């Protein structure tokens, strides 16, 4: 069975600084997607960034980038130039690459941003 | 494009009572998911529909939980009778079956408190 592990329950960063959130996963599949979702307090979950396992190039979305290490089954999220609005719970998620399959989430990392 | 709608946003009930949640997915999204998110944990899939058929309900406690998606659009999730451990946020998500990225869009969730 696939599992996703986030070993950092809480992280903190100052505005304009860079922070990295860690995620490891376990799967025997070779074709899958990995995601980072953001869940602000009392607000709905939104997709931050996705990575397809077959793509060697790390995904980047503005200030968000990932370090995808397929052999090590590691998928970390780097947030550059942190902003107060980045404060949220961040979830790492896995999905087998087949139409309609559900996401498997980690337990999440709470990120706080201070000014 | 309207997002995933859920109601109610909050519900407080006593144990052994029944409760129902409603979800309206994004128009045109054939796949609908119900996730349970217990405080401090990541969301866990309860049930997944493709149009009005069930794709995966392996983690749904069928002795007390039921769900339906009549006409392949709206969906309801019911708990009867509720237990204290059912206190959680219930998230509804939807996606296009044919969308290669299979991105799931989440609703705001229903926060259930069982006393």
Task: List pLDDT tens digits, range A90-104.
Answer: 999 999 887 667 899
Kindly tell me if the per-residue pLDDT of A30 is higher than 80: yes
Banded pLDDT at A49 (limits 50, 70, 90): very high
Kindly tell me if the per-residue pLDDT of A89 is higher than 90: yes
Distance from CA of B48 to the nearest CA of A (A): 8
Q: Any CB–CB contact under 8 A between A96 and chain B?
A: no
pLDDT of residue A19: 98
Report how far apart, in Å, the C-alpha atoms of A74 and of each of A29, A68, A93 are. Answer: 14, 6, 12
Chain B residues within 8 A of A91 when measuring between CB atoms: 42-43
pLDDT of residue B1: 67
- Beta carbons of B50 and A91 less than 8 Å apart: no
In B14-74, DSSP assigns E strands to 19-24, 31-37, 44-50, 53-56, 65-68
Distance separating alpha carbons of residues B22 and B67, to the nearest angstrom? 10
Q: Pick the residue of A24, A45, A104, A105 with the most B CBs within 10 A to test the interface with B by mutation.
A: A45
Mean pLDDT of A58-83: 97
Chain A residues within 8 A of B40 when measuring between CB atoms: 107-108
pLDDT of residue B97: 67
Residue A66 CB neighbour total at 10 angstroms: 25
pLDDT of residue B110: 96
Banded pLDDT at A7 (limits 50, 70, 90): very high
- Structure-block tokens of residue A23: 């995620």
Report how far apart, in Å, the C-alpha atoms of A112 and of each of A15, A42, B83 are. Answer: 10, 15, 33
- Structure-block tokens of residue B73: 């659009």
Low-confidence ranges of chain B (pLDDT < 50): none
Mean pLDDT of A20-48: 93
């Amino acid at each position: 069975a696939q599992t996703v592990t986030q070993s950092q329950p809480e992280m903190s960063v100052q505005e304009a600084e860079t922070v990295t959130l860690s995620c490891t996963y376990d799967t025997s599949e070779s074709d899958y997607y990995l995601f980072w979702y953001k869940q602000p307090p009392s607000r709905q979950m939104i997709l931050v960034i996705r990575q397809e396992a077959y793509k060697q190039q790390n995904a980047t979305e503005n200030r968000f980038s990932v370090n995808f290490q397929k052999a090590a089954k590691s998928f970390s999220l780097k947030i550059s130039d942190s902003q107060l609005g980045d404060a949220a719970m961040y979830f790492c998620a896995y999905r087998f690459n087949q139409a309609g399959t559900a996401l498997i989430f980690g337990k999440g990392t709470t990120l706080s941003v201070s000014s | 494009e309207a997002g995933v709608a859920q109601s109610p946003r909050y519900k407080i009930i006593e144990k052994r009572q029944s409760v129902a949640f409603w979800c309206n997915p994004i128009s045109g999204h054939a796949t609908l998911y119900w996730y349970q998110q217990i405080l401090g944990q990541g969301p866990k899939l309860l049930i997944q529909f493709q149009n009005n058929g069930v794709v995966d309900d392996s983690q749904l406690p069928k002795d007390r939980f039921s769900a339906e998606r009549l006409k392949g659009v709206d969906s309801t999730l019911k708990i009867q009778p509720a237990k204290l451990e059912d206190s959680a946020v219930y998230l509804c998500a939807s996606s296009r079956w044919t969308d290669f990225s299979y991105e799931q869009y989440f609703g705001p969730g229903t926060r259930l408190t069982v006393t």
